[in-house]
A and B are shown apart, each in its own frame.
Chain A
Amino acid sequence: MLSRRIFLKHGACACVSLGFAPSFLARTAFAAGGAPRAKRLIAVFQRGAVDGLSVVVPFGEREYYRARPGIAVPAPRSGDDGAIDLDGFFGLNPRLAPLAPLWSARRLAIVHACGSPDSTRSHFDAQDYMETATPGVKRTQDGWLNRYLQARRDEQAAPFRAVALAQQMPRALQGPASAVAVSDLAHFGIRAGRAGVDTGASFEDAYAAARDRVLNGTAREAFEAIRMLHAADVSRYEPANGAEYPRSPFGQALRQIAQLAKADVGLEIAFAEIGGWDTHVNQGSIRGQLANRLDDFARAIAALVADLGDLMEDTVVLTMSEFGRAVSENGGGGTDHGHGNVMLAVGGDVRGGRVYGRWPGLAIEQRYEGRDLAVTTDFRDVFGEIVVRHLGVANPAPIFPGYAISASRFPGMLA
């Protein structure tokens, strides 16, 4: 597989013998030449299992208030203490107010009671299953987003086709297709040594002369990426449309994703993560621990959407978390690990303003194992719909091994 990938990529480059800039220019020219515009997916992982019942609140369920006397989000009412009414049954946590205009504009869709067929309540295993999209199978080596990249082999693949704004490559993007993990774009480059000489150029020459195809090809990608970032001048960036990103790590990650999307460096898959959701104790309701995380989460996504402007027409932002939390609050004012959860999708081809998925109800006998929100939509059906209807993959089967992916089960949230 390796040799084929390298062959394809560098076979394709071989005709451009002058170095890096020409292939970059060639691609830009290609993009300007009327080819269909590239679609983008920005995947957001909420690590730690966000309490979906506090994100999109089923205020129409009496059982919700019975199970959560101390932490339920109040039903919509005048003032800003209650949920933001979405459809008379579900409401947004008021701290997600920055996302409310996207709902009204029908660009935000919600899939509730969504999750995994596997029963694990281990963060570790459940994140693994969601990122590999193979629930119950631990030995899958590549992530689902990497399998997407493999399925849509791009001979002109840009070095920034797939980027994780993270210190470590997330499981979802691990695999044979190229992806970059970087926590700070401004520091992506060859550092000058203490002697202060520009060592970058000599390394570029050395690797260009290397006979080893893997090293040679990887270095070509790396130096091209550095050059692109330099040309795009990422260290000086002004968000558009008055977008104000939170100064949090998540806000800054989305800001950098917007930079890459606008820099026209071939970004197709971006990945960001946000933690702090494992609220076993003192979760809070419209104020407190969880509310503060939601505030950061919502303001960052709202800023991203505003900043990307027209580029959102070709972009979907999808949020996910490994599982939901138990329906009933625990003795410490928090919630324990549960099952079904909520996913949000924002984008140009999203049929927003609707909550998708069958609502299973919260009465004890309707719950999963008597305690958790049941799963009525397999998360792979959400991923599958994005891969097929947004990213345009005709045959998604290789991306979802062991699962009979079928459009008949897609939630229907994309046009």
Chain B
Amino acid sequence: MKRFLVAALAVSAISIGGLRAATAPADDRAITHVLNRIAFGPRPGDVERVRAIGLDRYVDEQLHPDRIKDEAMRGRLAELPTAQMSRREIVESIELPQIDMRRERKQQPNGGDADDPKERNPLRQRANAIVVELAEQKIVRAAYSERQLQQVLADFWFNHFNVDSRKGRDRFLVSEYERDVVRPRVLGSFRDLLGATAKSPAMLFYLDNWMSADPAGPHAPLRAARPFQGRRGREPERLALQNKNRAKKGLNENYARELMELHTLGVDGGYTQKDVTEVARAFTGWTLENPRQGGGFTFDGRLHDPGQKVVLGHVIKAGGGESDGEAVLDILVEHPSTSRFIASKLVRRFVSDTPPPALVDRAAARFRETNGDLREVMRTILTSTEFRSPEVYAVKVKSPFEFAVSALRAAGAEVAAGERAAAPAFDAKLLVRRIRDMGMALYQCQPPTGYGDTAEAWMNGGALVNRINFAIEIARGDRQLADTLGAPAFQKR
């Protein structure tokens, strides 16, 4: 163990980009930089391994995760049952029994829980365990997967298409969302990724599109008549507000707005409120089939607004049904604002908080040339002189997740998940709590914006104290290792 730590220390001394790193050979600094960006930092021996195969070849390998062997992951994730379960399995084995139990309880004369609504019961605990297991899975993959870029990008794209597992039923949907919707597509076509998120139960639920309906249609929610409204001198402004709310009832614009602002065009991408409403109309009827039985996407024509829509100047003819939504996604992906917005977000993640404009231009152009081929956009960024420039070494503050995982990797620490967790390995559940204490509750970012990707998003006094304490904890009494992992240089990548 001791020898292991000494070896780890030697590597982390190189990897941290601080004073000692400056004395390392130039190519080792470049390798460390790349490992800090397209991986979650170097483990003991990683710099040597990359040097042996060559940096360019390493980057190319990482761009093709399907060609990288990663067999050890299966065993490491074996004790996290819900992380492998389908949505339907989770719903049937955890959500439905919970609903049944609540119903039975309601029918009992005294309800059984009159005094303690938070009473521990195994079903509730299993439901809570889903998101913890998912977070454990994320830590284990980031710490050990050989497909490091894929894990980095899964983190990036989940955050881009953020859903919060705490919203209603989303906790039952989010495992599948990350595993089957996001991760397989992070180096594929952006249009495919966008379409898959649009039809995912997790997103349909999170941004409310599943309940959005044509206000004039047969299934618009019934509104109680309010004949006495306005009596007793209500001020006109409030009355107007209420009328506005009433007019909107049925049509839900949440998904339409975030689709343009956060998923594709960006906030200054050139759309209007009128476009938001038109897009929302196009997506009416994109809903869930039997949501309570774990059903997936379905198109329900009875909720759909069949009229003509005009989106960003493009006419979508009346009567298109389900294809209206697909037409909107095509329009958005082909809009130049989308290529720029996606390119600048990726460059901010991989290069600098202030993305070099020339690189954003080239990455955006590549996005347009390849119809949004994310592997080619990534290749443009990762082979650019801007990305490889020593000026951008260690300029990014790590997110709490990145910090925690890079510390585990640098220390060569063992992590174990689920029932496998036993000393001396660190229990992944404990790490989930530590990362939360540093300000990042995994899968629980409330706004659809996702977490921020700049230094100011992560640095505050309480979080920094917890980061330093985490370094001390991981070092397990090794003062020198604690100093390395808790140092200012190790906060950056």
Residues of A within 8 A of B (CB): 1-2, 5, 117-119, 122, 124-125, 128, 138-141, 159, 167-169, 171, 176, 178-182, 188-195, 197, 199, 202-203, 206-207, 209-210, 212, 214-216, 218-219, 221-222, 225-226, 276, 278-279, 281-282, 284, 288-289, 292, 331-333, 358, 365-366, 369-371
Contacts and interface: CB of A to CB of B under 8 A. Distances in A.
A139 B469 CA distance: 33
B437 interface: yes
Contact of B436 (A167, A176, A331): A167
A124 B166 contact: yes
Nearest to A220: B461
A179 B117 contact: no
A287 to B, nearest CB: 10
B257 interface: yes
Contacts of A125: 167
Interface in B177-236: 207, 223-228, 232
Interface in B393-446: 397, 436-437, 439, 441, 446
B455 interface: yes
B110 interface: yes
B468 A218 contact: no
A206 B487 contact: yes
B486 interface: yes
A222 B439 CA distance: 15
B155 to A, nearest CB: 19
A218 B118 contact: no
Contacts of B446: 124, 128, 171
B472 to A, nearest CB: 5
Which 4 A-B residue pairs are closest in the complex by CB-CB distance?
Answer: A194-B477, A370-B224, A210-B488, A222-B461
Given A190-B469, A197-B479, A212-B488, A218 B449 contact: no
B476 A371 contact: no
A180 B224 contact: no
Contacts of B225: 370
A146 to B, nearest CB: 11
A191 B469 contact: yes
B448 A139 contact: yes
Contacts of B475: 193
Given A139-B257, A365-B227, A168 B436 contact: yes
Interface string B256-267: 011001100000
Given A139-B261, A190-B469, A207-B488, A281 B106 contact: yes
Given A214-B456, A369-B224, A279 B462 contact: no
Contacts of A194: 476-477
A289 B262 contact: no
A278 B117 contact: yes
B118 A169 contact: no
B268 interface: no
Nearest to B452: A141
A369 B469 contact: no
B117 A190 contact: no
Contact of A282 (B114, B441, B472): B114
Contacts of B118: 276
A282 B482 CA distance: 52
B4 to A, nearest CB: 17
B62 interface: no
Nearest to A122: B168
Contacts of B60: none
24 contacts: A1-B456, A5-B456, A119-B249, A124-B166, A139-B261, A140-B447, A159-B461, A168-B439, A179-B460, A191-B469, A192-B472, A197-B479, A203-B486, A203-B487, A209-B488, A214-B455, A214-B459, A215-B464, A215-B488, A218-B461, A218-B464, A222-B461, A281-B117, A365-B227
Given A2-B455, A171-B446, A176-B456, A284 B461 contact: no
B32 interface: no
A226 B232 CA distance: 56
B462 A193 contact: no
A62 to B, nearest CB: 17
B245 A289 contact: no
Interface string B459-493: 11110110011001101111100110011110110
A138 B258 contact: yes
B159 interface: no
B468 A203 contact: yes
A163 to B, nearest CB: 9
Interface string B240-254: 011001000100001
A193 B477 contact: yes
Given A117-B245, A215-B488, A289-B114, A139 B106 contact: no
B391 interface: no
A281 B113 contact: yes
A140 B492 CA distance: 28
Given A128-B446, A281-B105, A181 B462 contact: yes
B113 A139 contact: no
B223 A369 contact: yes
B332 to A, nearest CB: 17
B278 interface: no
B488 A190 contact: no
A390 to B, nearest CB: 24
Contacts of B476: 194
Given A193-B477, A214-B397, A289-B117, A219 B226 contact: no
B454 interface: yes
Contacts of A218: 459-461, 464
Given A222-B461, A281-B106, A117 B479 contact: no
A400 to B, nearest CB: 15
A221 B462 CA distance: 9
A225 B464 CA distance: 12
Contacts of A369: 223-224, 226
Given A167-B437, A188-B465, A282-B113, 7 more contacts: A5-B456, A188-B462, A214-B397, A214-B459, A218-B459, A279-B117, A281-B113
Given A2-B455, A278-B117, A281-B105, A202 B167 contact: no
B460 A178 contact: yes
Contact of B106 (A117, A168, A225, A332): A332
Contact of B258 (A139, A209, A214, A333): A139
Contacts of A179: 460
Nearest to B110: A282
Nearest to A132: B447
A222 B224 contact: no
